[in-house]
Amino acid sequence: MSEGDRTLDPADWESVRSVGHRMLDALVDGLRDVRDGPAWTPMPPEVKARFRAPAPERGLGLEEVWAELRRSVLPYRLGNVHPRFWARVMGTGTATGVLAALAGAAMNNNLSGLESSAVHVEAQVVDWLKTLVGFPATASGVLTSGCSLANLIGIEVARDSAGAVKAEGLQSVRERLVGYASEEAHSSIARAFMVLGLGNASLRRVPVDSEMRMDLGALERAIEADVRAGLRPFCVVGCAGTVNTGATDPLEALADVARERRLHFHVDGAFGAWARLSPRVAGQVRGLERADSVALDLHKWGSVQYGVGCVVVRDAEAHRRAFQASAGYLAPHPRGVSAAESAAHELGPELSRGFRGLGAWMAFQEHGLERLRAVVEKNVEQAGRVAARVRGEAELELTAPAPLNVVTFRYRGRGLSDPQLDVLNAEVVMRIQESGLAVPSTTRLRGRTVIRLAIVNHRTVDADLDLLVDAVLQTGRAIAAEGV
CATH number of the domain within which 404 lies? 3.90.1150.170
In a domain, 70, yes or no: no
| Parent domain of 469 | 368-482
Nearest to 158 by CA among 261, 247, 72, 85: 261
How far is the C-alpha of 133 from the C-alpha of 4, rounded, in Å? 52
- Judgement on whether residues 174 and 249 belong to the same structural domain of the protein: yes
In a domain, 394, yes or no: yes
How far is the C-alpha of 399 from the C-alpha of 284, rounded, in Å? 20
pLDDT-wise least confident of 79-93, 99-113, 162-176, 376-390:
162-176
Pick from 319, 354, 389: which residue ends a domain?
354
Which residues contact residue 308 at a Cβ distance below 8 angstroms, ignoring those fewer than 6 apart?
Answer: 143, 144, 145, 146, 297, 298, 299, 356, 357, 359, 360
pLDDT in tens, 291-346: 999 999 999 999 999 999 999 999 999 999 998 877 877 888 888 888 777 778 88
- Judgement on whether residues 129 and 261 belong to the same structural domain of the protein: yes
Give the number of other Cβ atoms within 10 Å of residue 295's Cβ: 34
The percentage of residues in the chain with a pLDDT greater than 70, rounded to a whole number, is: 98
In a domain, 173, yes or no: yes
Write down the pLDDT at residue 167.
67
pLDDT in tens, 19-43: 999 999 999 999 999 999 999 999 9
- Judgement on whether residues 301 and 223 belong to the same structural domain of the protein: yes
Write down the pLDDT at residue 472.
98
CATH number assigned to the domain comprising residue 248: 3.40.640.10
pLDDT bucket at 2, cuts 50 / 70 / 90: low
The percentage of residues in the chain with a pLDDT greater than 90, rounded to a whole number, is: 86
How far is the C-alpha of 130 from the C-alpha of 279, rounded, in Å? 17
Number of domains in the chain: 2
Name the CA radius of gyration of the chain, rounded: 24
In a domain, 233, yes or no: yes
Model-level pTM?
0.95
- Judgement on whether residues 406 and 333 belong to the same structural domain of the protein: no
- Judgement on whether residues 292 and 422 belong to the same structural domain of the protein: no
Pick from 322, 354, 386: which residue ends a domain?
354
In a domain, 40, yes or no: no
- Judgement on whether residues 277 and 183 belong to the same structural domain of the protein: yes
Pick from 354, 379, 402: which residue ends a domain?
354
Across 261-283, average pLDDT: 97
In a domain, 63, yes or no: no
- Judgement on whether residues 453 and 423 belong to the same structural domain of the protein: yes
Maximal CA-CA distance, the chain = 77
pLDDT in tens, 208-246: 999 999 999 999 999 999 999 999 999 999 999 999 999
Quote the mean pLDDT of the chain: 94
Which residues contact residue 417 at a Cβ distance below 8 angstroms, ignoring those fewer than 6 apart?
Answer: none
pLDDT of 431 over the 60 cut = yes
Nearest to 385 by CA among 313, 464, 318, 471: 464
In a domain, 49, yes or no: no
Write down the pLDDT at residue 15.
94
How far is the C-alpha of 263 from the C-alpha of 163, rounded, in Å? 13
- Judgement on whether residues 342 and 260 belong to the same structural domain of the protein: yes
pLDDT in tens, 359-389: 999 999 999 999 999 999 999 999 999 999 9
- Judgement on whether residues 382 and 466 belong to the same structural domain of the protein: yes
In a domain, 197, yes or no: yes
How far is the C-alpha of 411 from the C-alpha of 425, rounded, in Å? 6
- Judgement on whether residues 301 and 437 belong to the same structural domain of the protein: no
pLDDT of 168 over the 90 cut = no
Across 9-21, average pLDDT: 94
- Judgement on whether residues 230 and 147 belong to the same structural domain of the protein: yes
Does residue 327 contact residue 167 with C-beta atoms inside 8 Å? no
